[in-house]
Structure 1
Amino acid sequence: MVDVRTDMIGRRGAEYSPALHLLLLLVWMALLVVFAGVGHISADDQMYIAAAREWLATGSLLPESHWTVRHTVILPIALSFALFGDGEWQSVLPSTLYALGLAWTLYAVMRRYHGATAALVGTAIFVTTGLFAELGTIIHPDATESLFLLLGLFLFYEGAVVHGGDNKRLFGAGVLLGLAFVTRETAAAVPLALGVLFLLGAYTQRWHYFVLGIGFLLPVLIEAGYYMSLGEGPLYRYETVLGSTKAGPTLEMGGEVHAGTGNVTDNRLIGPFAALLLNNEFMLVFWGAIAAGIALLRAGTLRRAEEYGFTRLLLIVTAVWVFVEFYAFGLRPLPRYLLIPLITGTFLIGPWLAGLMATPGRRPVALIVLALILAANLFAIDLSNKAPRKPERLLAEWALSHQEPIYASDEFISRAQNFLRWDGVGADKVLAGPPPPGALYAVRLVTRGTGGVQAEASLEPDLHDAEVVDGWDGDRTVTGTVIGLFGLEGVVRGTPLARLLRYGEPVRLYRLPNE
């Protein structure tokens, strides 16, 4: 049994109550939902919502895509619908709770090994990132997967190291890692990392890893049994996943920049590291993690100190994670695939800054670094597009407020289908196809780099002589408000910096000419 210096809680930050910190976390989460919540994005979440509805309608679900095999995401949505009704906030509620659970687990584990100050600092950095603000307010498997992985790794470390091979904890760790795997196959990177430790005979005796493996197989076999009960084979999940996704590496080793969802570059060699260091979802966090890692290595604490044992495990897992996800699986280096590295980064920054705060003469430095990281995080949240489906929401509102039908493109209507359903808009109120003369026509606009807007090139009909009935040009950012107070808005508008002023894709409701 190893002493992890849990008495540090009593010696560092004991004046802080976990209940107070939990209250702060709940308040912050509420602020994110109200002021920075994204909600329904009419993308992958459409699949999850449809699957949840099928569960409620039929009592079972035979998945047909890699989205609908994720029962740990879908079943909580179905439960939320059953309890509170079919609606937008009800669909996102489980993801918000998963994100809260992840943040609180991070806090509790960091407090366990490094004390309350480190836990408060690390968690504050984590929950103010743009990535957390997004994943906590949309439907996605990332927070779910990461919660199970973090809990599983914690139980593994406690069982293997702290309690000298406690099989109950190791079995529980395996179950949690199995739940992460049935949430999304990317979680396989963590069992693979532990497999390397098994081969090395590290952390605990090898036979204890078999207990871990039995726990891992439990949810996997339960899922296989479920598919067999529906008349399919035990490998149905994997056949479905491989049939609905492109298996294997899909990125080039060359360096073409891809204007994707929040990634910096699709260069397969440097893409993950560019995303970590340059993406606005993380801002300065990984720069701070690098500084913390160097400082802790120079001090010798990261290599030798017992309280950093769990952090060393996270570093091993993170290295394997990056290799498996981006060089073996060939995933695009999107920020959401980097949640595990983000967690590891906070386990470096939190204790490092807490140590500086406790060192005479270093406290101002620590506070300045913390303030810079938090300010950069909040700046990123302010500039992020928190209303990606505002045009679709407005389409539903316009349909309710006008007596005549509104025409729109097939894609626009498809993206708006859940908003139309939730607002009770009849099928005859929003129509696709060529609009007749004099009809109302709703269209999304495309934002140019200088902040101007233009209609999509492929749009029909010709809108040159159409009358604008209503519209929306995006919501103003806090940064844009400050720029306006200094009288600089005119200088910024018309330049690439115009994105500092507003977020969101504009939309127009036109009255077409009668002839």
Structure 2
Amino acid sequence: MIDRFETFAGTGRRGLIAGLGVFLILLALSWVGFIASDDVTYAKGAYGWIEHFPYVGGHGTIRYPITIPMALSFVTFGENEFAMVLPSLLYLILFLVMAWRVTRDIAGPLPAFCALLACATNPLIVVQSSIANVDVIEMALLFGAWFLCFRCLEDGPDRGRLLGAGALVGLAFLTRETAIFVAVYFGLLFLAGHRFNRWHYLWMAMGFLAVWLVELLYLGIMTGDPFYRFNIALHHDPTINRAIDLAGNVIVSPLVDPLLVMLVNQEFMLLMFLAIPLGTWLCFSPQLPPRLRHFARQIALFGLCWLICVGAVQKLLPLNPRYFMITATMACLLTGVALGWLMKEARGLWRLAGLGGLALLVGTNLVGIYVENRNPTFGEEKLVDLLVSRPDVAITTDPMTLYRADLPLQWARATKRVTSAPPSGAALYYYNPVRSAKPNAKMAAAMVPTYQPRPDWVLIEEFAPEPSYLARALRWSGLHSRLPASIWDKLRHANESSYLYRVTADPAPGPA
């Protein structure tokens, strides 16, 4: 069976095509799309380039490696969710191709296919690739820089490649300031004089500075402040408190919390439990070819430096899994290559262990993808669908729902038919409890009672999310009764229902 698997994956570009096919299938099945978060900010930046060229922007909207491609996507494919996500998706596909290419050249076709499969099924990668975000773009650009530098480590210093690597780091830095973390990895290579003279590494610095100086010149001309982006990045948010933000599932100590995120969050499943021992084996086993060990050490060092840097900036970044995307992708490559090498070169039970390990990794990844909430804007999307299906009606809703639905309402040409005024008279009121049942940034506590349904209102329709197949199976088997109530409630109701009411009388005034 392993021989057939190797024949299938190890012939020409068949492994690349198969791996990309698996990724695209999972992408279609787990599509997220619009999330009414940072993606809205990037869309506003894209519209800035379309409507106010040349454009500067503010925090988020100034991230040109995503806003400019998104603007081109809107102009080419229309104003819609797919066009918004397309730039990030194309960056991710480019990364997958690069990852397959370098691992094939170093380890062979079968390990390259396994590494590609590990990346293409990783829950964090699959879910984030269907969202307009800079995490994927930053990762792809920085991996491209690593790829060019590694070619120089293998074949000797090349001025063009090193300049290109530095330029890609510069583009990643324009995407998000955290890209500067790679200076730790490249700085270690520079200090060690690894593989070639230290002076050659300065070509990378020149490539980086060339890109950054273009931005400094542009912002200096447009705003009078060359460091405009840097200044707004440092002052746009209050200090992060990881113990309160709880972006990681478990908070124990700043020294171990970053690793715990990758060990216990569902975005990674069993990845790190496999990557740590298998990566250590790849890096140090004397039975492996020196070229493969060198590749593994560079990949591991790149991912480890990123993990340490993200963990170290406690006051700037929450422990959000997406900030660990570079470490996760490097772990995927190490794990996939190691399992593929066992299937390719080992004998007896070790070959079966390689195949079993790959099946375990992919299987748990699929579970991780399945349990993700792939519709975080259920209420907002149902509001848009409601207005599209009833083009002759006007609706009122709460301020937060209207705020978060603004972009899809704009795409549906329905903005003018919905308001956030308190429901009164005989209005149709769209009640989205996940946004209006408690105070939020758009609704003070005193306003909350005016947006709650009254007993005399007429319920016209309830919009309830479909239970997942897992929830249905658990209920059918009776196993749901053995689960903790909090877990079962999340499995059964990943999103809250929303409701359409006919207001029958003016509501009693809320508290002063």
> Matches of residues 306-385 of structure 1 in structure 2 within 5 Å?
306-328=291-313, 330=315, 331-358=317-344, 359-361=346-348, 362-385=350-373
> Contact 1:152–1:173 at 8 Å: present in 2 too?
yes
Q: Residue type matched to 1:36 in 2?
A: S
> Matches of residues 387-398 of structure 1 in structure 2 within 5 Å?
387-398=375-386
Matches of 2:381 and 2:211, distance apart in 1: 39
1:441–1:265 Cα change, 3 Å: farther
> Contact 2:74–2:83 at 8 Å: present in 1 too?
yes
Cα deviation, 1:163-211, whole Å, max 9, x if unaligned, reads: 2222222122111111111111111111232123222322321110111
Cα deviation, 1:84-141, whole Å, max 9, x if unaligned, reads: 1111111111111111111222111211211111111111111212111221101111
1:259–1:439 Cα change, 3 Å: farther
Q: 2:175 aligns with which of 183, 186, 196?
A: 183
Q: Residue type matched to 1:32 in 2?
A: L
1:114–1:86 Cα change, 3 Å: same
Question: Following TM superposition, by how much is the alpha carbon of 1:328 offset from its aligned partner in structure 2, in angstroms?
Answer: 3.5
Matches of 2:92 and 2:51, distance apart in 1: 28
Alignment match, 1:7 = none
1:490–1:401 Cα change, 3 Å: farther
> How much identity, in percent, do the aligned residues show?
28
Q: 1:212 aligns with which of 204, 225, 229?
A: 204
Cα deviation, 1:284-341, whole Å, max 9, x if unaligned, reads: 0111101213444563357x72223132122222232222222136421211111111
1:502–1:127 Cα change, 3 Å: farther
Matches of 1:188 and 1:483, distance apart in 2: 46
Matches of 2:9 and 2:489, distance apart in 1: 45
Q: Which moved more, 1:279-288 or 1:130-139?
A: 130-139
Matches of 2:78 and 2:299, distance apart in 1: 40
Q: 1:27 aligns with which of 7, 21, 24?
A: 21
> Matches of residues 22-421 of structure 1 in structure 2 within 5 Å?
22-65=16-59, 67-159=60-152, 161-246=153-238, 250-251=240-241, 256=243, 258-260=245-247, 263-265=249-251, 267-296=253-282, 299-300=285-286, 305-328=290-313, 330=315, 331-358=317-344, 359-361=346-348, 362-402=350-390, 403-421=392-410
Instruction: Report the TM-score, using the length of structure 1 for normalisation.
Output: 0.88
1:13–1:183 Cα change, 3 Å: farther
Q: Which moved more, 1:186-195 or 1:495-504?
A: 495-504
Matches of 1:60 and 1:177, distance apart in 2: 24
> Contact 2:379–2:498 at 8 Å: present in 1 too?
yes
Matches of 2:22 and 2:252, distance apart in 1: 33
1:55–1:322 Cα change, 3 Å: same
1:297–1:74 Cα change, 3 Å: closer
> Contact 2:118–2:333 at 8 Å: present in 1 too?
no
Q: Which runs of 5+ in 1 are unaligned?
A: 1-11, 448-453
Q: 1:467 aligns with which of 450, 453, 458?
A: 458
Q: Which moved more, 1:314-323 or 1:100-109?
A: 314-323
SS of alignment partner, residue 156 of structure 1: helix
Question: Following TM superposition, by how much is the alpha carbon of 1:19 offset from its aligned partner in structure 2, in angstroms?
Answer: 3.3
> Contact 1:258–1:266 at 8 Å: present in 2 too?
no
> Contact 1:13–1:116 at 8 Å: present in 2 too?
no
Question: Following TM superposition, by how much is the alpha carbon of 1:215 offset from its aligned partner in structure 2, in angstroms?
Answer: 1.1
Question: Following TM superposition, by how much is the alpha carbon of 1:155 offset from its aligned partner in structure 2, in angstroms?
Answer: 0.9
- The reply to whether residue 482 of structure 1 matches residue 473 of structure 2 is yes
> Contact 2:398–2:451 at 8 Å: present in 1 too?
no
> Contact 2:429–2:502 at 8 Å: present in 1 too?
yes
Q: Which moved more, 1:136-145 or 1:126-135?
A: 126-135
1:434–1:250 Cα change, 3 Å: closer
1:26–1:272 Cα change, 3 Å: same
Matches of 1:107 and 1:488, distance apart in 2: 41
Matches of 1:235 and 1:456, distance apart in 2: 39
SS of alignment partner, residue 476 of structure 1: coil
> Contact 1:382–1:478 at 8 Å: present in 2 too?
no
> Contact 2:48–2:57 at 8 Å: present in 1 too?
no
Question: Following TM superposition, by how much is the alpha carbon of 1:390 offset from its aligned partner in structure 2, in angstroms?
Answer: 2.0
Runs of 4+ residues over 6 Å off in structure 1? 12-15
Cα deviation, 1:354-400, whole Å, max 9, x if unaligned, reads: 22213221222222221121111111111111111121111112223
> Contact 1:257–1:266 at 8 Å: present in 2 too?
no
Q: How well do the aligned residues superpose, as a CA RMSD in angstroms?
A: 2.6
Instruction: Report the TM-score, using the length of structure 2 for normalisation.
Output: 0.88
1:266–1:91 Cα change, 3 Å: farther
Q: Residue type matched to 2:43 in 1?
A: I
Matches of 2:252 and 2:129, distance apart in 1: 25
> Contact 2:181–2:309 at 8 Å: present in 1 too?
yes
Number of matched residues? 488
> Contact 2:460–2:502 at 8 Å: present in 1 too?
yes
Matches of 1:119 and 1:112, distance apart in 2: 8
Q: Which runs of 5+ in 2 are unaligned?
A: 1-5, 440-447, 507-512
Matches of 1:225 and 1:336, distance apart in 2: 31
